[in-house]
Chain A
Amino acid sequence: MSVRVSMKVNGKPVSADIEERTLLVTFIRENLRLTGTHVGCDTAQCGACTVHLNGKSIKSCSIVAMQAEGGDILTIEGVARPDGTLHPMQAAFKENHGLQCGFCTPGMVMNALDFAKSHPSPSEQEVRESLEGNLCRCTGYHNIVKSIMAGARAMAASK
């Protein structure tokens, strides 16, 4: 059965006819071809699919697209400035070598952006706790933690 969904993604209105069971992440990747949002697992553990729904980070593999009807979605493709300049959090990941293979990275950045809103100067411990739902197999988290601490401070400073 097909159903029509409409929402805003990275500031643009989008709509499509999709199967009811279509996950939000599938809608984003397959229908909208925004392939920066990744799928790393099937048990909502890895966080590679993290996007923002109405300003809050969610795992887009764990809801169907219909649940985001009318919502405002931000994916990794919508984070940098329109001229391509990296967001301070993205820049912090680059400066601190917070990524290696890049596959978990979009989810890490999306989660960190939400976290930093409420933690302008987070401690190492707070950052590690914030990463409970985001798995990385490359970095050992060391540089991700540094990136998020630096990114959060840069975001607070640029306000």
Chain B
Amino acid sequence: MTSSLIGARVPRKEDYRFLTGAGQYTDDVALPGQTYAAFLRSPHAHAVLRSVKTDKARRAPGVVAVYTGADLAAAKVGGLPCGWLITDVKGQPMKEPPFPALAQGKVRHVGERVAVVVAETAAQARDAAELIEVDYQALPAVASAAQAKKGPALHEIAPDNTCYVWALGDKSAVDAAFAKAAHVTKLEFVNNRLIPNAIEPRAVNAVYSRADDSTTLYVASQNPHVERLLMTAFVLGLPENKVRVVAPDVGGGFGSKIYLYAEDVACTWAARQLARPVKWTAERSEAFLSDAHGRDHVTVAELALDKDGKFLALRVRTTANMGAYLSTFASCIPTILYATLLAGQYTTPAIYCEVTAVFTNTAPVDAYRGAGRPEATYVVERLVETAAREMKMDAAELRRKNFIRQFPYQTPVALCYDTGNYEATLDAAMNIADVAGFKDRREQSLRRGKLRGLGYACYIEACGIAPSNVAGSLGARAGLFEAGEIRVHPTGTVTVFTGSHSHGQGHETTFAQVVADRLGLGIEQVDIVHGDTSKVLFGMGTYGSRSIAVGGTAIVKALDKIVAKGKKIAAHLLEASEGDIEYDKGVFKVAGTDKKKTFGEVAFAAYVPHNYPLDKLEPGLNENAFYDPTNFTFPAGSYVCEVEVDRDTGTTQIVSFTAVDDFGKVINPMIVEGQVHGGITQGVGQALTEGCAYDETGQLITGSLTDYCIPRASDVPMFKIDTRETPCTHNPLGVKGCGEAGAIGAPAAVMNAITDALGVKDLPMPATAQTVWRAMHRA
């Protein structure tokens, strides 16, 4: 097998259109008869809707229609479903309150949709929305996870605002280990709520055609087939064959575009009523109010160690904020994707985690880059670093003492790691970061009036949730496979259809590298199609760093079928037996002879089957495959962050950031490095600049990019990146996934560095200049 394209820094096929302004994002789609939607949103965090009067709005210039929750209820439009059923500690199902697309009876967070106006122009729709008169009876609200249980009830079915109490691990074994521990390190912290802020705001453009009773939805989505399934099967009751969902170019997702959103439903329903296209594009302020947020945990975590620093047990109690309603995958984030990761890279023999998920008067919370795994890594890596300091041990040595070294490794929290080499990534990271020279650098910084600190984070991640039946037994209401199709054209070029979705990840290049490499073709002979349910056979989409491991493998499985059929055709053409045909670098050969047929000749024979075994073989060369993995993949890595804190201002500068990751086999290092850069920067954002804040009444304080600070170019350095490689053992490419790693490892590394610089035990995220300055002046 030739490997010239695997591991090659191939420039991206998609770049030309993006660089010339020819990308086609959802808001760029303009259709004949286009109308525009504007949503009236609740200014209250919690209120009874006494009345919603729309007469004035209906009469406003350009208005086509105004709809409220009552209209959707009358039409029997279903609420938004949650895709994962968590069963609580008592064996009871989680509380699943109704989640109407437009509010019915009550509003439960600022920004909840009360009505939608459809008009000839976007400005007319917005103007008319202001004419809707709503009589709100304001109710007391609760915004923080910590206060939720004591707050006013949001939903009748959950009087104490508790969605579920769930636990994983052996509590008695953990308690016993703590009883004999030589040292216990305890931390209490908040994993700060984040707002994803993909630079392309969410958008939807829904079209209904009476001619064939079909509905087409253009939407900024990470998983168009899932959107279609949820929309048709659960919400609108439309036949799936009559609905096409297109997620064209999508400007970043980071999790926030996984979900079925109320705006998508309302616009689709409205388009069907009006038989005109209805477009809605979020303003950034609407994104802040209504995109699913991330994180928001309150945690008490304890690590028990023996006198030599061996980890004995880990005990974690977390309260996770779900927001006002359950977003599509909200319930599995602080459970299945969090507690299962608490072993980290270590042999901790006993772990127990209890999670209480609560409703509050805030925007729904769901997966955001990393989704549960950054929270778990933060717990483990802050505890480990703190334990090292308390026990006066070297933080890297303490980690090494506890590293898992035998694989496969069954953790006490359900996962079975197939492979890894944590020592290798830590060695490399320490070398690149020049940890040995840190003491000198710290002294130099001090002479300049700066406090310098160094922090590690050794993370583990689980990507490509699988297999479907195990996920199903844990409550998943969807499959977790991926689909791919290889369509070989008569002249030997190839179009690949993948259920994965690219919204920045570069699949059009990476997947083409895989296909061209396997088939021995030029990369220009292979095109990747994604993001359209009318073209792609099926798909579960892109999230959880699953694309190459699951989507890529589905493609490889389909390629295997192409090669197998090609061998049959070649055997006929070459008058040889099928078993003697070998395929290499685009050529079918009879082993041990010079008889051969090129891939193009075989493809041509398949479509012009004049000399072809028609009695035994169908014409054509087109295969598809569905791949359901047997296990997760387990990327892991070691990060070393060095910061300088200005004593006068409390400003933190990241002066060095080293990341050495093990993603298994890397297809395109250039693209992988880009993913790591971006992930680290979002992690740095969580640690230093980003903190979603609601006040006590549930008003969003950080409602714009002037209040909520996503990192700017001056907030981050050039990153020092490298990889080590232990190939995944259970997929043919040996790949693991790389999209979330940076965001998982970076927060702990940064906070470990800052607490080291300041000599404090803990500090809340984001460690803004104000937070740091206060900590310095308290100390």
The interface of chain A, by Cβ under 8 A from chain B, is: 19, 21, 29-30, 33-43, 45-46, 48, 75-77, 79-80, 84, 86, 90, 93-95, 97, 99-106, 109, 124, 127-129, 131-132, 134-145
- Residues on B with beta carbons closer than 8 Å to the beta carbon of A132: 712-714
Q: Is the CB of B713 within 8 A of A127?
A: yes
6 additional A-B pairs beyond A39-B201, A45-B706, A77-B21, beta carbons within 8 Å, are A36-B22, A79-B20, A97-B674, A102-B15, A132-B713, A140-B716
- 28 examples of A-B residue contacts, CB within 8 angstroms: A36-B20, A36-B23, A38-B25, A39-B27, A43-B704, A76-B20, A77-B20, A80-B19, A86-B16, A86-B19, A94-B11, A94-B12, A101-B199, A101-B249, A101-B252, A103-B23, A103-B25, A103-B251, A106-B18, A128-B713, A131-B712, A135-B710, A137-B199, A137-B252, A140-B674, A140-B677, A143-B674, A144-B713
Q: Is the CB of B252 within 8 A of A103?
A: yes
Residue ID in chain A nearest B712 by CB atoms: A132
From known contacts A19-B123, A80-B20, infer whether A40 and B201 are also in contact, taking CB-CB under 8 Å. Answer: yes
Q: Is the CB of A100 within 8 A of B716?
A: no
- Residues on B with beta carbons closer than 8 Å to the beta carbon of A80: 19-20
- Residues on A with beta carbons closer than 8 Å to the beta carbon of B18: 99, 101-102, 105-106
- Minimum Cβ distance to chain A for residue B528 (Å): 15
Number of A-B residue pairs having CB atoms within 8 Å of each other in the complex: 182
From known contacts A38-B251, A42-B704, infer whether A142 and B123 are also in contact, taking CB-CB under 8 Å. Answer: no
- Answer whether residue B764 sits at the interface, using C-beta atoms and an 8 A cutoff: no
Residue ID in chain A nearest B11 by CB atoms: A94
- Residues on A with beta carbons closer than 8 Å to the beta carbon of B706: 43, 45
- Answer whether residue B285 sits at the interface, using C-beta atoms and an 8 A cutoff: yes
From known contacts A40-B200, A45-B706, infer whether A138 and B27 are also in contact, taking CB-CB under 8 Å. Answer: no
Q: Is the CB of B198 within 8 A of A137?
A: yes
From known contacts A132-B712, A140-B716, infer whether A99 and B15 are also in contact, taking CB-CB under 8 Å. Answer: yes
Q: Is the CB of A140 within 8 A of B19?
A: no
- The number of residues on chain B lying at the interface, defined by a beta carbon within 8 Å of a beta carbon of chain A, is 58
From known contacts A42-B284, A94-B15, infer whether A36 and B198 are also in contact, taking CB-CB under 8 Å. Answer: no
- Answer whether residue B524 sits at the interface, using C-beta atoms and an 8 A cutoff: no
- Answer whether residue B580 sits at the interface, using C-beta atoms and an 8 A cutoff: no
Residue ID in chain B nearest A86 by CB atoms: B19
- Residues on B with beta carbons closer than 8 Å to the beta carbon of A35: 21, 24-25, 27-28
Give a binary string over B693-737; 1 marks a CB under 8 Å from any A CB, 0 the rest.
000000000001110001111101011000000000000000000
Q: Is the CB of B12 within 8 A of A131?
A: no
Of B197, B198, B284, B719, which contacts A101 at CB under 8 A?
A: B198
CA–CA, A43 to B705, complex, Å? 7
- Residues on A with beta carbons closer than 8 Å to the beta carbon of B11: 94-95, 97
In the A-B complex, the 6 residue pairs with the closest CB atoms: A36-B21, A102-B18, A103-B251, A101-B504, A140-B681, A140-B677
- Residues on B with beta carbons closer than 8 Å to the beta carbon of A145: 713, 718
- Residues on A with beta carbons closer than 8 Å to the beta carbon of B776: none
Q: Is the CB of B15 within 8 A of A93?
A: yes
- Answer whether residue B435 sits at the interface, using C-beta atoms and an 8 A cutoff: no
- Minimum Cβ distance to chain B for residue A141 (Å): 4
- Answer whether residue B567 sits at the interface, using C-beta atoms and an 8 A cutoff: no
Residue ID in chain A nearest B707 by CB atoms: A43
- Which among A33, A43, A134 has the greatest number of chain B C-beta atoms within 10 A? A43
Q: Is the CB of A100 within 8 A of B249?
A: no
- Minimum Cβ distance to chain B for residue A56 (Å): 19
- Residues on B with beta carbons closer than 8 Å to the beta carbon of A38: 25, 199-200, 251
CA–CA, A121 to B387, complex, Å? 47
Q: Is the CB of A103 within 8 A of B199?
A: yes
Q: Is the CB of A140 within 8 A of B250?
A: no
- Residues on B with beta carbons closer than 8 Å to the beta carbon of A103: 23, 25, 198-200, 251-252
CA–CA, A38 to B28, complex, Å? 9
From known contacts A36-B21, A102-B23, infer whether A42 and B283 are also in contact, taking CB-CB under 8 Å. Answer: yes
From known contacts A97-B674, A128-B713, A140-B680, infer whether A21 and B199 are also in contact, taking CB-CB under 8 Å. Answer: no
From known contacts A94-B11, A135-B710, infer whether A46 and B200 are also in contact, taking CB-CB under 8 Å. Answer: no
CA–CA, A122 to B130, complex, Å? 48
- Answer whether residue B503 sits at the interface, using C-beta atoms and an 8 A cutoff: yes
From known contacts A135-B705, A137-B198, infer whether A43 and B284 are also in contact, taking CB-CB under 8 Å. Answer: yes
CA–CA, A22 to B22, complex, Å? 23
- Answer whether residue B30 sits at the interface, using C-beta atoms and an 8 A cutoff: yes
- Residues on B with beta carbons closer than 8 Å to the beta carbon of A99: 15, 18-19
- Residues on A with beta carbons closer than 8 Å to the beta carbon of B285: 42
Q: Is the CB of B199 within 8 A of A34?
A: no
- Residues on A with beta carbons closer than 8 Å to the beta carbon of B197: 137
Residue ID in chain A nearest B287 by CB atoms: A41
CA–CA, A84 to B14, complex, Å? 15
Q: Is the CB of A101 within 8 A of B250?
A: yes
CA–CA, A120 to B201, complex, Å? 34
Q: Is the CB of B678 within 8 A of A138?
A: yes
Q: Is the CB of B678 within 8 A of A100?
A: yes
- Answer whether residue B468 sits at the interface, using C-beta atoms and an 8 A cutoff: no
- Which among B17, B18, B19, B505 has the greatest number of chain A C-beta atoms within 10 A? B19
CA–CA, A143 to B672, complex, Å? 12
- Answer whether residue B138 sits at the interface, using C-beta atoms and an 8 A cutoff: no
Q: Is the CB of A76 within 8 A of B21?
A: yes
- Residues on A with beta carbons closer than 8 Å to the beta carbon of B199: 38, 40, 46, 48, 101, 103-104, 135-138
CA–CA, A75 to B670, complex, Å? 28
Residue ID in chain B nearest A107 by CB atoms: B199
- Residues on B with beta carbons closer than 8 Å to the beta carbon of A90: 19-20
- Which among B199, B681, B711, B714 has the greatest number of chain A C-beta atoms within 10 A? B199
CA–CA, A141 to B14, complex, Å? 19
Q: Is the CB of B716 within 8 A of A137?
A: no
CA–CA, A93 to B18, complex, Å? 10
Q: Is the CB of B705 within 8 A of A46?
A: yes
Residue ID in chain B nearest A105 by CB atoms: B18
Residue ID in chain B nearest A104 by CB atoms: B199
Q: Is the CB of A109 within 8 A of B250?
A: no
- Minimum Cβ distance to chain B for residue A130 (Å): 8
- Minimum Cβ distance to chain B for residue A12 (Å): 15
- Answer whether residue B151 sits at the interface, using C-beta atoms and an 8 A cutoff: no
- Answer whether residue B185 sits at the interface, using C-beta atoms and an 8 A cutoff: no
- Residues on A with beta carbons closer than 8 Å to the beta carbon of B677: 139-143
Q: Is the CB of B252 within 8 A of A37?
A: no
CA–CA, A136 to B682, complex, Å? 10
Residue ID in chain A nearest B505 by CB atoms: A100
Of A40, A94, A140, A142, which contacts B284 at CB under 8 A?
A: A40
